[in-house]
Structure 1
Amino acid sequence: MQGVVYSNNKSSSSSSSSASNSKNTASTKNGPNQIGGAKTAQKSQQYFDQPKRGEVDELREILKKHMFDRDEKKKRDLVKKVIAYMTLGIDVSKLFDQMVIVSQTADLVQKKMIYLYLTNYAEQNPDTALMAINTFIKDCDNKDPKVKGLALRSLCSLRFSGSFEYLIPAINKALQDIDPYVRKTAIMGCVKVFYMNPEVIKNKEIIDTLYKMIKDPDALVMQNAICALNEILADEGGIKTYRQMIIHLLNNLKNFNNWGQTIVLQLVAKYTPINEEEMYDIMNLLDERLKQSCISVVLGTIKVFMNFTQNNQKIYNSVFKRVKTPLITLMSSTETTGSFEITYPVLCHINLITSKGGASFFQDDFKQFYCKADEPTYIKFMKLNIISNLANEINIGDIMNELGEYVTDVDSELAKESIRTLGKIACRIQEMATPIIKQLSNFINMKQDYITNNTLVAFQQILRKYPQVFKEIVECIPECFDYATETESKCALLWILGEFSNQITDAPYHLINFISNEQSEHIDVKQTYLVTCIKIFLRTPDEMRDTLGQAFQSFLGKDESIDLKDRAAFFYRAMQDDIEGFKKIMLNEHSNPVEKYCEEKEESEEQTNFDFNTLAVIYKKSQDKFIKPFSYFALQRNKEAAEEKMDEEKQKEEASADAPTQQVAAETPTAAKQNTADLIDMGEEQNHQASNQAQQGNSTPLNLLDMDDGFGAPKLSGLEASDLVLNFSVDPDDYEPAWNSLNEGAVNTKLVNPGVHLTENVVEELFKQHRIYSAAQGEEDDTLKFYLYAKHQSTGNVVYMEFDLNTASRVLSLCTRCANEEIAAFFSKFVLGFLKDKGIIN
């Protein structure tokens, strides 16, 4: 075999020993975490020693010898070693029979590991699954509830259709068990089975049983029953609430932990009280929950209050007043302890309340939201959003002074957000527009680029709504031209220049050198520049004629932006057609400013409907935009089932293709003639049907769009070296950007056979023989790394592959990426195939 060097037995033995010693050192870090049962890293090394030739068979003999041994410690060590091999990707399926026998033990640690083994190999080989199922079914009748629950959980984890006939009886029996742990495990098993086969679980008997278990004496069973029903009935809106259920849950609320209380409160929030008296009773009962330190319980209680009172504005406002103190207390306490990950959700909910009409109840405590030096940036930003909602005519002076201090802070991001906050306040409170814009104009004198850039954007936002305040900043506008360096600030400055050019001295001359290098400017700056030139030209044509002509010549000629060319051509033709009408449109100074665009209105209306105490408040999106529905998972299951079916059919086709060809030759010429005669004797109608069928069978789908999207491409059946382009090359500088732009591919890990020695040159030559070429390669920490590529001839897709070989542990891994994921999968199989043919891996 070319490309692989084998050594004699003596060197192979020493090499195996060296590899084992190296692996012992490498596995010290990962061993204890993967096994979970070792007390020290040194003791765990032995479980991850690399197997020698026949070591799995040797382990099988040891298991046979000690399977009936009373020394549980020795048996546990053997099971640990089996699990260690399994985590390394070594095939230990030979030990299935012995592991089933060893599972008959009272040691719970052994059972957990053995169940992990049985579940893993039962899914890979359904033929042996029956043995595992029988083991689990037997342990479901064990006297120990922990063993019973563990067996049921493992049984529900078997993901193939043949297990359903055993699952349902076991689950039904466990739902009636006297131990709450077993009942809880059975409830979660219902959810697992539901995601594999919804029709099996969605029958009236199981659903009714789960509803009855909401009144279970154990709180943990109750909360799991609620969660399971919400999952199973998600497409119907979740669990249906009724009065007796809510009363039972509220009376037992103190028995739940914080997580259980949150689940119950979510359910109570969906309930509608039958009258006002019941509403007050529930609210009084839950009032003490506002004093808890758990954020989810406090927010869940607030959600109940808001949902109950949303149709009564007076009581609704009283709720805002009542929840103010708990929220501020929760925010302050988490800040004191440094739990900013809890502070942020609290601030997000306060921001939501203040934006939904509750700002007046928090305005007296606006100083609580001042930024502190040790707070993260995201906390400071959220506090500034809240301050912009709380600003009014009374506290605006203190807020302006505080925000002014932030602008001079060393934190540039805080300074930028403070300027934006001042702009928001000015747009919201008309009376404060003048003093705020005066304060913003003072920031220009600092002559800092990032301050000037954000101040110009704030100017633009304020002037769009209140153009009459421009006289307050007219003198500072010429000073801004040297400090506007960002795209957004340049556009804002150009807009101000074009909109108020009649009030700015020498406005036309400021545009002459504004765009120094046209090619480097952003398209938005060019478009705004063109509109500004036209507006100034319409007011002072003599002074702007040359500048506007150069702009048209540049944008209509050499500029590469089609959008800019079309816009410039539109303006040019409009000016030629009717200059007066065009002037009336462009200089319409009497139109009312638009406060919100249609998209912003829809977003704000959607924001008011956010579910309180959900991630929708954090993401500022409705839940259906980031939570995948049940139909998505159903589609994924159908896709996986279809792929499995295709794989089975492919295996059958391969098996039939390998059958002896002599059977085909055994057909007699007489039979062939008879078939021909039958075809000739067919009637005219039958001939027509046969012709149509032949045409349909020979036709291939057409790619009408002539695009390389695979719509009309034939399905691939495999990949060979002849399917790849010979001597194809990729620029090494383009490799990393192309690799990062593709989706992450699956990683295949294999163990290199003992006695095989691979060097950098040998591996490169081996891949080159199969038309796979290297863009970069090298050795780092006993690992050979290769960055490979190849091009598929028929589709033109380039396949990228990262190939790693740890020479110490002899572990080989490869990751393949391609725009066509089907080709990537076939490419991985192709590489593993010729590595196996060369005897490098099994």
Structure 2
Amino acid sequence: MVDSISQIASALESAKAITLEAAAVASSKLGESSYTHYSKNLSTQQLRNLLNSRNSREVKDAMKRILSILASNDTSVDIEEFFSDVVKNISSDDIKIKRMVYLYLLRYAEKDQNLALLSVNAIQKTLADSNPDVRAFSLKALSDIKIPSLTPIILLSVRKLIVDPSPTVRSEVACTLMKLYRWKRNEIEEDIMDLYTDLMCDSDPKVISSVLVVFKECFPDRLELLHGHYRYFCQILKKLDSWAQSYLVETLIRYCKRYIVKPMVVDISSKDVSSNCVPLPDKYNQIIFPVYELRMEKDLELFINSLKVLRFSTSPVVIVSCCNAFFQLTTPNDFRNSRFPEVLTNITVATSNLGVKTFLLQSILLYSKMDSTLFQQFNREFLPFPSDNVTVVCLKLQILSTLINDTNVEFILRELKKIIKHQKNEKIIIVASQTMASCGKLSVTLESHMMKWFIKVIESDKNGLTNNVLDCFVNIIRELVSYNPRRHLKIILKLADLLTTNHVRADNARAGIIWLFGEIAGIEYKVCPDIVRNLINGFVDEGPKSRRQLILLSAKLASYEYDQNKESSNESYNVDDSRIMRMFQYLAYLGKFDDDYGVRDMVRYLTSLFDSGKYEIATLLLQAPKLDIWDKPALNEDADFAEDTEDIDHDLIAYHSYIPWDVSDNVNSSEVLDIREGLPLKDYNKFKKSFSSENYVETSNSFVHNNTPEELHNETTSTLSTSATRNSFTSNTGKKYKLQSLDEFFSDVPAVPQAKKYSSLSKKKKIIRVVESSSEEETDPSEEGDDEEDEEEDDDETSEDDSETSSSGLESSED
């Protein structure tokens, strides 16, 4: 009794352990943490035992633990010591175990090459597996093991699999050629090129997608390889994957620029079309005709038409590459009518990926700078949202600055004012202010309105604007005033009040205002001396830039005073009687002991001119407009974003840069078209079609089309008339066979009880069926003879009585 109880207890304990283990393994399929906890408790010996187990589930669990250690870079377990135990599982029937062994091999094959070579034989065997995914992954694993002695084996495998019926395997062949080209380019370049040219003739779009990736990575300058495939690639462009589409569009742009004649722009508003026909300009928006059309070669037109289908693509890369193609190869009207600007705008608004949105906005900004009419109707789509990133908001504002015109300026101006008032980010305020400056350039009224509004914001801000924002406001006002200072004297005087009331405390902003008074000294001289007189007492409290500009302003006023005295009288200029000259000397004396070397250098230079009495030279130097040495102060160097707010990626600028046409206009178009004659395509998919009912299914399904009733009737009639031809086959021995449906095949079985299945009645029905089918279907006489011979071979055991019965049955059927 006690023994039985102990046996039951031990059985329950073992069942509990098995249940926990099974639950842990099951949870591993769901990615739960219990499997991770379970696998971490495995010792080295337990892991080795699992790898050597005959149970595929245990081997799979052990491989998962090996790969988890490999991915996490866990140094507590040395997984290299399991190399032999892992590699021998490469012959497993489980595809998942094979994949995990391949991944392990890719990591440690180079460290133990001799042991890794033992697995090559097993990998080569899987190259002939019935599953195409297994064959493709085996070739990938074989090519990723970078052992020099494997190169001939890889080449041999590639030569065999290049005619594989599966496009997945042939796509992997293309990737293998890319790896070999990078690894052993100088040794086997000719072999790789021969195999690659064969792959380019493949008829499957999936294989062509991989071929194009290899072309971009390995042969980007070998555009002559595309001659015989140009038209076919244009036809299957919509069937390729998105990255291959992008690569092909970029490649064909360069191909067209090199091998296709430049299109001609024709002025259709003129009666004499032949005289008003010029080649497409080298720059995008330089067409002189108001109304025109573009005439191009047929091959170029084929490429442009194939791009129009891609506007329905959801890939941003494809849309940008198509926009670049229209920009490079067509006119602004064609680009606008292609609707790609609308698609580019819509996909920019729809995407939530920050990197993609930034990339698309930068592309739109580049295009809008060259031609603002492309995106002018979508200006509302570029208004910033509160949830937008700072970079995205700045790019949208810069795009808006290029789209401003007389029709939308009021709306954009109203939105920009809201952004400046309510926005807290310094960079966004600066970019919005610069966009408002673009609005002020449209008219004098807007120009005055802008300056008054900026001065009002400076005065009304209670908390005080930051230094960078003040710099931006003052620089905008300074730029707008410099166009016509006489028109904006009231604004300039208002700026003087800002200096004296200390509304502007930033050194760079105050220096800009002082510089502006130096510019208008020749226009309104009377106002400027009071500026120097008011600021001279606080000279030591000013910043270094303001001190330099104040000294420069006093020197300019002294030069203007010298000119006035020289015009009024012939007497020499008396320095002691000039108050302006005394202010300059006082400021120069303070500047000699300034701690800023720029102030000291300026004082030394200016005093050398006045002390030597060279007033004429000083006048020429100081009154020259916008002196580059000490004039016009730059923006604040401390602000990272103030130097250039248009942060466009340089690679993107290079991508959209215009490619010049290399083909001369005197090239014979017929000769150019001859080099693009299509090469014969290789359809390897036919190898996987066996002698089965697959062709019959295709034939029966051929009636399913989206055609009109008349077209459907015609197609059905032609299909029925040629059904006998399509459903007949000829064997290697010359014997003809006819493909039948299941109903036709099983119609030979008589519908009578089993006891009478060999009766004369069943044979009579059989003969009658043959006669009826032969009378309904118009078969070839030779086929009928073959069918009769086959029937004689099949019925060689029939008796003479059956023949008589069948003949009598035939007579009755004829009656």
| TM-score class normalised by the smaller sequence | 0.5 to 0.7
Using the TM superposition, give the Cα deviation of residue 243 of structure 1 relative to its aligned residue in structure 2, in angstroms: 4.8
Q: What runs of 5+ residues in structure 2 fail to find an aligned partner?
A: 1-23, 264-295, 561-579, 635-643, 658-815
Matched, 1:74 2:48: no
Whether contact under 8 Å (2:517, 2:553) holds in the other structure is yes
Residue 455 of structure 1: aligned partner = 473
For residues 478-511 of structure 1, give each alpha carbon's deviation from its aligned partner in whole angstroms, at most 9, with x where no partner exists: 3433243445434423432443454446211354
Q: Which amino acid aligns with 1:455?
A: F
In structure 2, distance between residues paired with 1:167 and 1:622: 38
Cα distance 1:78–1:407, how it changes in 2: closer, same or farther (>3 A)?
closer
| Correspondence for 2:530 among 506, 518, 537 | 506
In the TM superposition, residue 516 of structure 1 has moved relative to its aligned partner by: 5.7
Does residue 443 (structure 1) correspond to residue 431 (structure 2)? The answer is: no
**Which of 402, 411, 427 is the aligned partner of 1:389?**
402
1:383 is aligned with what amino acid? K
Are residue 106 (structure 1) and residue 93 (structure 2) matched?
yes
Match of 1:322 among 337, 341, 344: 337
Structure 1 residues 207 and 363: alpha-carbon distance in aligned structure 2, compared to 1, 3 A threshold: same
Decide whether aligned partners of structure 1 residues 588 and 46 sit closer, same or farther in structure 2, where only a CA change above 3 A counts.
same
Query: Amino acid of the residue matched to residue 290 of structure 1?
Result: R
Of 426, 431, 436, which residue of structure 2 is paired with 1:417?
A: 431
SS in 2 for 1:177: coil
Deviations 1:609-649 (A, max 9, x none): xxxxxx97686643699xxxxxxxxxxxxxxxxxxxxxxxx
- 2:141 corresponds in structure 1 to 154
Task: Give the structure 2 partner of residue 225 of structure 1.
Answer: 211
**Amino acid of the structure 2 residue aligned with 1:409:** H
Decide whether the 8 Å contact of 1:449 with 1:483 is kept in 2: no
SS at structure 1 position matched to 2:493: coil
1:225 counterpart SS class: helix
**TM-score, scaled to structure 1:** 0.58
- Checking the alignment, whether the CA contact within 8 Å between 1:295 and 1:346 is kept in structure 2 is yes
Matches of 1:308 and 1:171, distance apart in 2: 39
Distance 2:602 2:113 in 1: 65
- TM superposition shift of 1:446: 2.5
**Number of equivalent positions:** 550
> Are the equivalent residues in 2 in contact too, given 1:427–1:465 (CA < 8 A)?
no
Task: Kindly name which structure, 1 or 2, has the bigger radius of gyration based on alpha carbons.
Answer: 2
Kindly report the root-mean-square deviation, in angstroms, between the aligned alpha carbons of the 2 structures: 4.0
- The alignment partner of 1:474 has SS state of helix
Q: CA deviation at 1:367?
A: 4.0
Return the offset for 1:470.
4.2
Partner of 2:198: 212
Contact 2:368 2:403 in 1 (8 A): yes
Aligned twin of 2:504: 484
Alignment partner, residue 809 of structure 2: none
- CA-CA distance at 1:116 after TM superposition: 2.0
Alignment of 1:59-70 (within 5 A): 59-60=47-48, 63-64=51-52, 66=53, 69=54
For residue 232 of structure 1, report the CA deviation from its aligned partner. 0.9
Cα 1:61–1:300 change in 2 (3 A) is closer
Cα offset, 1:355, TM superposition: 1.2
Give 1:412 shift. 4.3
Residue 287 of structure 1 aligns with an amino acid whose one-letter code is K
- 1:531-550 alignment, distance < 5 Å: 531-532=552-553, 534-535=555-556, 538=559, 540-550=580-590
Is the 1:537–1:545 contact (alpha carbons within 8 Å) kept by the matching residues of 2?
A: no
Q: Where does the alignment leave 5 or more consecutive residues of structure 1 unmatched?
A: 1-30, 310-315, 598-606, 608-614, 626-842
SS at match of 1:124: coil
Once the two structures are superposed, the pairs formed by residues 35-74 of structure 1 within 5 Å of their partners are: 39-49=31-41, 55-56=43-44, 59-60=47-48, 63-64=51-52, 66=53, 69=54, 71-74=55-58
CA distance in 2, matches of 1:257, 1:100: 35
Q: Residue 291 and residue 221 in structure 1: after superposition, are their counterparts in 2 closer, same or farther (change >3 A)? A: closer
Q: Distance in 2 between matches of 1:494 and 1:155?
A: 74
Q: CA deviation at 1:449?
A: 1.3
Alignment of 1:27-42 (within 5 A): 39-42=31-34
Q: 1:306 to 1:435 in 2, by over 3 A?
A: same
After superposition, where does 1:305-704 map in structure 2 within 5 Å?
A: 305-309=326-330, 316-323=331-338, 325-328=339-342, 330-332=344-346, 335=349, 342-356=356-370, 358-413=371-426, 414-426=428-440, 433-447=447-461, 448-450=464-466, 452-481=470-499, 482-486=502-506, 488-500=508-520, 502=525, 503-504=527-528, 506-512=530-536, 531-532=552-553, 534-535=555-556, 538=559, 540-555=580-595, 559=596, 569-573=604-608, 576=611, 578-589=614-625, 621-622=653-654
Kindly state the Cα deviation for residue 580 of structure 1 after the two structures are TM-superposed: 3.5
With over 3 angstroms needed to count, the CA separation of the structure-2 counterparts of 1:531 and 1:83, relative to structure 1, is same
C-alpha distance 431-99 of structure 1, shift in aligned 2 (>3 A): same
1:140 corresponds, among 107, 127, 133, to: 127
Structure 2 CA distance for partners of 1:36 and 1:504, relative to 1, 3 Å: farther
Is 1:189 matched up with 2:176?
yes
Amino acid at match of 1:47: S
Query: Could you tell me how far 1:72 is from its partner in structure 2?
Result: 0.8
Query: What is the CA-CA distance between 1:418 and the residue it aligns to?
Result: 1.8
8 Å contact from structure 1 (residues 537, 543) kept in 2: no
Distance 2:603 2:329 in 1: 57
- 2:232 is aligned with 1:248: yes
The structure-2 alpha-carbon separation of the partners of 1:624 and 1:45, relative to structure 1 and needing over 3 Å to count, comes to: farther
- Partners of 1:437 and 1:472 within 8 A in 2: no
Distance 1:512 1:424 in 2: 36
| Cα distance change, pair 213–37 in 1 and its aligned pair in 2 (3 A) | farther
Question: Residues of 2 paired with 1:91 and 1:217: CA distance?
Answer: 48
Aligned-residue identity in percent? 16
Residue 269 of structure 1 pairs with residue 253 of structure 2: yes
Change in CA separation of 1:97 and 1:394 when aligned onto 2, cut-off 3 Å = closer
Question: Taking structure 1 as reference, are residues 59 and 376 closer, same or farther at Cα in structure 2, changes over 3 Å only?
Answer: closer
TM-score with structure 2 length normalisation? 0.59
Which of these residues, 244, 269, 285, is aligned with residue 260 of structure 1?
A: 244
Tell me the CA shift for residue 241 of structure 1.
Answer: 5.9
| Partner AA of 1:229 in structure 2 | F
* Residue 465 of structure 1: how far off its partner (Å): 4.7
CA distance in structure 1 between the partners assigned to 2:504 and 2:413 by the alignment:
24
1:120 matched to 2:122? The reply is no
Name which of structure 1's ranges 284-293 and 347-356 shifts more when overlaid on structure 2: 284-293
User: 2:729 aligns to what?
Assistant: none
Determine if contact 1:231/1:238 at 8 Å carries over to the other structure. no
Instruction: Check the 8 A contact 1:48/1:85 in 2, yes or no.
Output: no
Query: For the residues of structure 2 that align with 1:485 and 1:128, how far apart are their CA atoms?
Result: 76
Aligned to 1:635: none
Measure, in 1, the Cα distance between the counterparts of 2:345 and 2:68: 47
Contact 1:344 1:379 (8 Å CA) reproduced: yes
Cα distance 1:568–1:112, how it changes in 2: closer, same or farther (>3 A)?
Answer: farther
**Which residue identity is paired with 2:219?**
L
| Distance of aligned partners of 1:195 and 1:252 in 2 relative to their CA distance in 1, 3 Å threshold | same
